[in-house]
């Protein structure tokens, strides 16, 4: 293992419910509905762009780009307004895990969230400088469960340090909390650790390893178990 690529919401930031509630409101304003059970079941915890496109296609037979963009922008505005008074919290075990991991491995974030949201949540935290690369929805237009965002993170890590030996997919550990994210990591050819922060562990079994959280976890022990 030479690198760890983290999903953000539900893995680093404890804000999945807030994201979902803002997304639901943006959908409702466009005449679409989405229950929590549907989002985490039927739509496999897809990122918002992919899920909104699927909902529009189901209702209209096609995904109108203008309506789709309006939903995504409205959701971003709602989340921005909410976090202006209720800042997103990081899971308490994130800082010690990232501190230990950064001593031995290269770190990156690959998230279907917006870059501004990620930067805002990390601002001022001691772990902010630990991440060499952040890939968000703003840089990668193809959402999970497609592997594109993890493939993009790998390319950017190699661009940062182009001297051989270049980092390979099989040397990367993905840390995810959703089934769509697990599928994305697997399809990118990476090892996947799933955390039971959003889904019950029984729904995450396609990952190479499932843990309830990263509390007390040694990154080097993960390397021994998974590589």
**Block residue for tokens 């550990």:** 173
Question: Model's pTM, two decimal places?
Answer: 0.90
Is CATH 3.40.50.1000 the classification given to domain 3-14+88-226?
yes
First vs last Cα of the chain: how many Å apart?
6
Among 220, 222, 221, 215, which Cα is nearest to 90's?
215
What number does CATH give the domain 16-85? Answer: 1.10.150
Note the pLDDT tens digit of each residue in 74-123: 999 999 899 888 888 999 999 999 999 999 999 999 999 899 999 999 99
How many other C-beta atoms can be found within 10 angstroms of the C-beta atom of residue 137?
21
Backbone angles phi and psi of 85, in degrees to 5: -110, -15
Share above pLDDT 70 across residues of the chain, in percent, rounded to a whole number: 99
Q: Can you spell out the DSSP letters for 103-141?
A: TTSEEEEE-SS-HHHHHHHHTT-TTGGG-SEEE-TTT--
Residue ranges of the domains in the chain? 3-14+88-226, 16-85
């Amino acid at each position: 293992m030479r690198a760890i690529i983290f999903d953000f919401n539900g893995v680093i930031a404890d804000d999945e419910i807030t994201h979902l509630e803002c997304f639901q409101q943006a959908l409702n304003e466009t005449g679409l509905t989405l229950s929590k059970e549907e989002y985490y079941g039927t739509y496999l915890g897809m990122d918002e762009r992919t899920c909104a496109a699927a909902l529009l296609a189901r209702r209209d037979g096609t995904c109108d780009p203008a309506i789709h963009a309006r939903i995504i922008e409205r959701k971003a505005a709602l989340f921005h307004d909410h976090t202006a008074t209720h800042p997103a919290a990081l899971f308490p075990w994130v800082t010690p895990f990232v501190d230990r991991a950064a001593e031995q491995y290269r770190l990156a974030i690959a998230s279907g969230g917006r870059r501004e949201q990620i930067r805002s949540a990390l601002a001022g935290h001691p772990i902010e400088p630990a991440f060499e690369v952040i890939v968000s929805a703003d840089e990668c237009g193809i959402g999970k469960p497609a592997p594109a965002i993890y493939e993009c993170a790998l390319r950017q890590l190699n661009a940062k340090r182009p001297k051989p030996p270049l980092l390979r997919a099989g040397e990367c550990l993905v840390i995810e909390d959703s089934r769509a994210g697990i599928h994305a990591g697997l399809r990118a050819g990476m090892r996947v650790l799933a955390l039971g922060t959003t889904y019950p562990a029984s729904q995450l079994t396609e990952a190479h390893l499932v843990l309830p959280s990263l509390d007390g976890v040694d990154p080097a022990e993960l390397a021994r178990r998974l590589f």
